[in-house]
Amino acid sequence: MKNPLLVPELRDYLESDNHEALGLFLDSGHPRVIAEFLSALTPTEAWQVLGTGPLSLAAEIFSEMDEWFQADVAEILSRRELAQLVTEMSPDDRVDLLARIPENRRLRILSALAVAEREDIRKLSSYHEGSAGSVMTSDYATLSPDLTAADAIDKLRREAPDKETIYYAYVVDEGRRLIGFASLKDLILAPAHELVEEIMNEGVISVRVTDDQEFAARQIQKYGLIALPVINGGDALVGIITHDDAIDIITREHTEDLEKFMAIQGSHDAASYLRTPALTHFKNRVLWVVGLAAAGLVSGGILHHFEATLSHLLILALYMPMLADTGGNTGSQSATVVIRALALNEISAKDMLQVLGKELKIALMLAAVLACVAWIKVQLLSGGSPIPGGFTLPQVGGAIVLALAIQVITSTLVGALLPMGAARLRLDPAVVASPALTTVVDITGLFIYFTCARLILGV
Amino acid sequence: MKNPLLVPELRDYLESDNHEALGLFLDSGHPRVIAEFLSALTPTEAWQVLGTGPLSLAAEIFSEMDEWFQADVAEILSRRELAQLVTEMSPDDRVDLLARIPENRRLRILSALAVAEREDIRKLSSYHEGSAGSVMTSDYATLSPDLTAADAIDKLRREAPDKETIYYAYVVDEGRRLIGFASLKDLILAPAHELVEEIMNEGVISVRVTDDQEFAARQIQKYGLIALPVINGGDALVGIITHDDAIDIITREHTEDLEKFMAIQGSHDAASYLRTPALTHFKNRVLWVVGLAAAGLVSGGILHHFEATLSHLLILALYMPMLADTGGNTGSQSATVVIRALALNEISAKDMLQVLGKELKIALMLAAVLACVAWIKVQLLSGGSPIPGGFTLPQVGGAIVLALAIQVITSTLVGALLPMGAARLRLDPAVVASPALTTVVDITGLFIYFTCARLILGV
């Protein structure tokens, strides 16, 4: 996000070298707000303005800038400047930044960092993408169980400037094993001389570094946490994930679910719509549409199989799109509702029969209504034209309406079955992409349509 | 969520009247965890277990139960019991609970409450659903500007048990106007005798009671806040929205977006999939599918208009589904990508031309690939059969492939245009439901198809 509102003033200050005004500006609001104002400048200008404040504030504002603007600013910095900035950034933010810098430059910056930072970055970036480890930060506050409440508060106060949060502190033993948790509220409510081990809560909710990041975010949501501790295979505390990261993870996962459902592949972590080249967009989309087009060979084959029926009774061709559309619409409705209910844990894979029973009821009602609508449509559109082969409009219309009703029921059930089946196979229900469903529904629909015509009309 | 793991033990304790064990159980973990164990019991049993703990703990655990289980428990309580429980609950939770209780019972419970609680509930429930006011809570901590840091911490410590959070405190003047904000971290880092008005941050990020709840949640996300103050028309502080509510709001809004996109109406706030009667599901879905079926009259009319062409060249009917499907797939892909980019603020309504330019490039590439696929399909499916009217397969295939290419370009652009247009009109881009898009694409597709056939083949 850019906010161009202050561009003229900031440029004036820069030209007149008014360091005092620029310094005041940097401190005049939430770092995110300042970052949006600076993002409207050129990267060089933005860096000049940042340079007028203390490095810690500059790093904080820089961290709030959009990823692509961060990359643009990083590009114009000298190796030394960038190393200093990276050192001041919070561990999770700096790992993200470095991941977006070309490799040879990254290596040169890493070599300019202190050993401790370098080691921390190496550890944090070693976790598999999408895991809890890959989104955690290592700036968390720890307490040892034998501190008093007053000493604990004192320790948190001293460490506050360097920690992501001091509202939650984690109690670890000598081996850094996570044994408890105390909130700052617990500590200030406790008598000053009570020991941390008496104050702390022992049933700490935590995740492992290898757990899925969405699982971690959902734990934060479920328990209303400000931060969630992350432990390694040996139960040692290695990081925390904070509430603001949880919201970002959930937003990202929702987007990915929608995209899976709409059959678009590829991750969009690093770049925005306008920054992604058309060719990349093309690559993300082409595989699915070509695959679906190839799957369309099946429905094409079915149509060819029934070519004789069609040439006998062309009126059937005129209502093919209606059947396909209605089947597709009812199928994606039930799929959406079921995917949502699975996502919110309202149902699970073992509720298959209950879900199918309920969808069957809904489908019967929808089929009755849509059959009436289809009957009216047939009267309106084909009422005047003669029908070959000695058939009457009620006969042909009856076959079409019956096919439509069966199609609505089938596609509603298929729409519910596919995500339930995926859930049972422990696959992501959202992979049952809407276009894939449409293709399945198309194929069954053509079969139903021509079978009804054959049985009722004998063509 | 239910967790049946402890049902046998809990029933044993209840039967043997083992109050001590039940009391220990209630205090043995996060209230949410306890709530899940209790939800596997009957409402009567759950209430018996809750009764063994202090009322404040019972209210906390009760608040963590699923809405429907809360309603079931509330139903078996006496008016007096329910009034006591409601009094102990946090203001936002109790307003939600009361909203789900039948009106005559609700009025009787309200009359059993103290005047202050009643007034608080009346105020909180007066805000429009979906507004920031409707999701805020009134248990927030305030400070006056002339307190010292030490006194402020002391006040927060005393009030901690009754407040939603004490990590953020809001500074108000005599008229309760919000003039600043101080985090507990600011306060413990400040010298003990510094005044709150010197410590506080003046540029407080806040929302108005009438602002949209999603806007409020996005502010919490954007600025990484633990809580966001809500002010009324006179700038007086009236409530806060906390970080955990923000995650819930965002999850709910995502679901609603997906449902809008999939053309399902109705809110699911109160009930889960399995608890909602089939008839309600039917009502939520029927309007849209009937509307779309009615809109299908247009494409039906077009097909009738071109009936003569079809009867001349039946082969055209065989490829109609391919055109419709491919158009629908490419259209919903571009719509999904654009809706997502709009939702994440990567683009805005004024980027219309840039977006169309990019989608045009992508569409040209997709059209080229899909035209090749279509050409192969025509050769495979119709290669052997004779074509009437003296046409050759390359002629007919050429018309089909050309129509498909134009259809891919048109539907990709329409898929991008609809959400961009909605955004420009300040409508929700997600209302451009996928089935509605399919209907538009179907209609344009049929026109393109038969126009190409007429121009190239002269039929």
Asked if the domains B4-126 and B142-261 are classified in one and the same CATH topology, the answer is no
**Crossing angle for the helix pair A55-64 and A19-26, nearest 10 degrees?**
60
Q: How far apart are the CA of B444 and the nearest CA of chain A, in angstroms?
A: 13
* Nearest C-alpha neighbor of B150 from the set B183, B190, B198: B190
Residue B261's pLDDT band, with cuts at 50, 70 and 90, is low
Q: How far is CA A104 from CA A43, A74, A100, A108, in A?
A: 21, 14, 12, 6
B324: chain A residues, CB-CB within 8 Å: 321, 324-325
- Residue type (1 letter), B175: G
Residue A126 class from Cβ within 10 Å (0-12 exposed, 13-18 middle, 19+ buried)? exposed
Give chain B's radius of gyration (CA, Å): 31
Q: What is the DSSP letter of A128?
A: P
Separation between Cα atoms, residue B265 and residue A45, nearest integer Å: 49
Nearest to B442 among A311, A321, A345 (CB): A321
Q: Is the pLDDT assigned to residue B344 strictly greater than 80? A: no
Q: Is the pLDDT assigned to residue B269 strictly greater than 50? A: no
Q: Is the pLDDT assigned to residue B262 strictly greater than 80? A: no
**Domain ranges across chain A:** 4-130, 142-261, 278-457
Residue A435's pLDDT band, with cuts at 50, 70 and 90, is low
- Residue type (1 letter), A156: L
Separation between Cα atoms, residue A20 and residue A154, nearest integer Å: 34
Residue B389's pLDDT band, with cuts at 50, 70 and 90, is confident
In this complex, do B167 and A263 lie within 8 Å of one another by their Cβ atoms?
no
* Nearest C-alpha neighbor of A82 from the set A99, A98, A103, A60: A98
CATH topology of domain A4-130: MgtE N-terminal fold (1.25.60)
More confident call, A195 vs A259: A195
More confident call, A174 vs A383: A174
Q: Is the pLDDT assigned to residue B77 strictly greater than 60? A: yes
In this complex, do B322 and A296 lie within 8 Å of one another by their Cβ atoms?
yes
Q: At which residue do the structure tokens 């979906």 appear?
A: B130
Residues with Cβ within 8 Å of residue B384, at least 6 apart in sequence: none
Q: Please say whether the beta carbons of A221 and A249 come within 8 A.
A: no
Q: At which residue do the structure tokens 């089947």 appear?
A: A327
Strand B178-183 to B168-172 pairing: antiparallel
Residue B36 burial (CB count, 10 A): 23
Question: Mean pLDDT over residues B50-76, rounded?
Answer: 91
What does pLDDT average to over chain A? 86
Residues with Cβ within 8 Å of residue B296, at least 6 apart in sequence: A321, A322, A325, A326, A377, B439, B442
The predicted pLDDT at position A441 comes to 85
Return the structure tokens found at B303.
């097909």
Please count the residues of chain B. 459
H/E stretch holding B126 reads none
A300: chain B residues, CB-CB within 8 Å: 318-319, 321-322, 377, 381
Nearest to A333 among B263, B328, B340 (CB): B263
Q: Which residue of A has its CA nearest to B286?
A: A366
A319: chain B residues, CB-CB within 8 Å: 300
The predicted pLDDT at position B265 comes to 55
Task: Please report, to the nearest 10 degrees, the dihedral formed by the alpha carbons of residues B35, B41, B42, B46 taken in order.
Answer: -50
Residues with Cβ within 8 Å of residue B47, at least 6 apart in sequence: B73, B76, B77
The predicted pLDDT at position A261 comes to 64
Separation between Cα atoms, residue A234 and residue A213, nearest integer Å: 19
A296: chain B residues, CB-CB within 8 Å: 321-322, 325-326, 377
B280: chain A residues, CB-CB within 8 Å: none
B333: chain A residues, CB-CB within 8 Å: 262-264, 285, 288-289
Tens of pLDDT, residues A48-96: 999 999 999 999 999 999 888 898 899 899 988 999 999 999 888 998 8
Q: Which residue of A has its CA nearest to B66?
A: A346
Question: Mean pLDDT over residues B116-137, rounded?
Answer: 89
Strand order of the β-sheet with B207-208 is: B207-208, B227-231, B237-242
A166: chain B residues, CB-CB within 8 Å: 185
Q: Which residue of B has its CA nearest to A382?
A: B304
Q: How far is CA A312 from CA A454, B325, B428, in A?
A: 11, 25, 47
Q: How far is CA B452 from CA A182, A197, B403, in A?
A: 72, 80, 6
Task: Please report, to the nearest 10 degrees, the dihedral formed by the alpha carbons of residues B266, B272, B277, B283 taken in order.
Answer: 10
- Residue type (1 letter), B87: T
Q: Which residue of A has its CA nearest to B278?
A: A362
Separation between Cα atoms, residue B370 and residue A122, nearest integer Å: 45
Return the structure tokens found at A342.
């699975």
H/E stretch holding B344 reads none
Lowest mean pLDDT of A99-108, A276-285, A406-415, A423-432, name the range: A423-432
The shares of helix, strand and coil residues in chain B, as percent rounded to the nearest 5, are 70, 5, 25
B378: chain A residues, CB-CB within 8 Å: none
The predicted pLDDT at position B236 comes to 93
Tens of pLDDT, residues B299-316: 888 888 888 888 888 888
Question: Which one of A242, A289, A400 would you mutate to disrupt binding with B, by most B Cβ within 10 Å of its Cβ?
Answer: A289
- Residue B358 gets the label, from left (phi > 0), alpha (psi -120 to 50) or beta, of alpha
Question: Mean pLDDT over residues A368-395, rounded?
Answer: 84
Residue B430's pLDDT band, with cuts at 50, 70 and 90, is low
In this complex, do A318 and B332 lie within 8 Å of one another by their Cβ atoms?
no
In this complex, do A248 and B336 lie within 8 Å of one another by their Cβ atoms?
no
Return the structure tokens found at A221.
């949501």
Lowest mean pLDDT of A419-423, B265-269, B319-323, name the range: B265-269
Q: How far apart are the CA of A435 and the nearest CA of chain B, in angstroms?
A: 6
Q: At which residue do the structure tokens 């849509």 appear?
A: A370
Q: How far is CA A159 from CA A77, A141, A142, A228, in A?
A: 30, 8, 10, 19
Question: Mean pLDDT over residues B66-76, rounded?
Answer: 88
CATH topology of domain B278-457: Tetracycline Repressor; domain 2 (1.10.357)
Residue B160 class from Cβ within 10 Å (0-12 exposed, 13-18 middle, 19+ buried)? middle
- Residue type (1 letter), A416: A
Residue A78 class from Cβ within 10 Å (0-12 exposed, 13-18 middle, 19+ buried)? exposed
Lowest mean pLDDT of A194-198, B69-73, B145-149, B420-424, name the range: B420-424
The predicted pLDDT at position A264 comes to 60
In this complex, do B300 and A319 lie within 8 Å of one another by their Cβ atoms?
yes
Residue B270's pLDDT band, with cuts at 50, 70 and 90, is very low
Q: At which residue do the structure tokens 């007919």 appear?
A: B396
In this complex, do A262 and B322 lie within 8 Å of one another by their Cβ atoms?
no
Percent of chain B with pLDDT over 70: 94
Q: Is the pLDDT assigned to residue A269 strictly greater than 50? A: no
CATH topology of domain B4-126: MgtE N-terminal fold (1.25.60)
Q: How far apart are the CA of B116 and the nearest CA of chain A, in angstroms?
A: 27
A345: chain B residues, CB-CB within 8 Å: 1
Nearest to B223 among A32, A185, A325 (CB): A32
Strand A237-242 to A227-231 pairing: antiparallel
Tens of pLDDT, residues B170-217: 999 999 999 999 999 999 999 999 999 999 998 899 999 999 998 999
Separation between Cα atoms, residue B220 and residue B206, nearest integer Å: 10
Nearest to A322 among B32, B296, B341 (CB): B296
Residue A291's pLDDT band, with cuts at 50, 70 and 90, is confident
Question: Which one of B64, B184, B258 would you mutate to disrupt binding with A, by most A Cβ within 10 Å of its Cβ?
Answer: B258
* Nearest C-alpha neighbor of B436 from the set B297, B321, B302, B332: B332
Nearest to B310 among A29, A314, A446 (CB): A314
Q: Which residue of A has its CA nearest to B324?
A: A321
In this complex, do B203 and A289 lie within 8 Å of one another by their Cβ atoms?
no
Please state the φ and ψ torsions of residue A214, each to the nearest 5 degrees: -70, -40
Q: Which residue of A has its CA nearest to B320?
A: A321
Q: Is the pLDDT assigned to residue B338 strictly greater than 90? A: no
Residue B442's pLDDT band, with cuts at 50, 70 and 90, is confident
Distance of CA B442 to the CA centre of its chain: 29
Question: Which one of A27, A33, A181, A258 would you mutate to disrupt binding with B, by most B Cβ within 10 Å of its Cβ?
Answer: A258
Q: Please say whether the beta carbons of B237 and B229 come within 8 A.
A: yes
Q: Is the pLDDT assigned to residue A277 strictly greater than 90? A: no
SS (H, E, C) A344-383: CCCCCHHHHHHHHHHHHHHHHHHHHHHHHHHHHHHHHHHC
What does pLDDT average to over chain B? 87
Residue B165 class from Cβ within 10 Å (0-12 exposed, 13-18 middle, 19+ buried)? buried
* Nearest C-alpha neighbor of A242 from the set A262, A263, A271, A219: A219
Q: How far is CA A366 from CA A372, A400, A404, B337, in A?
A: 10, 16, 11, 31
A344: chain B residues, CB-CB within 8 Å: 251, 255, 272
Residue A202 class from Cβ within 10 Å (0-12 exposed, 13-18 middle, 19+ buried)? exposed
Residue B59's pLDDT band, with cuts at 50, 70 and 90, is very high
* Nearest C-alpha neighbor of B232 from the set B212, B207, B213: B207
Residues with Cβ within 8 Å of residue B305, at least 6 apart in sequence: none
Q: Is the pLDDT assigned to residue B295 strictly greater than 80? A: no
Q: Is B142-261 a CATH 3.10.580.10 domain?
A: yes
Separation between Cα atoms, residue B267 and residue B249, nearest integer Å: 13
Residue B97 burial (CB count, 10 A): 22
A266: chain B residues, CB-CB within 8 Å: none
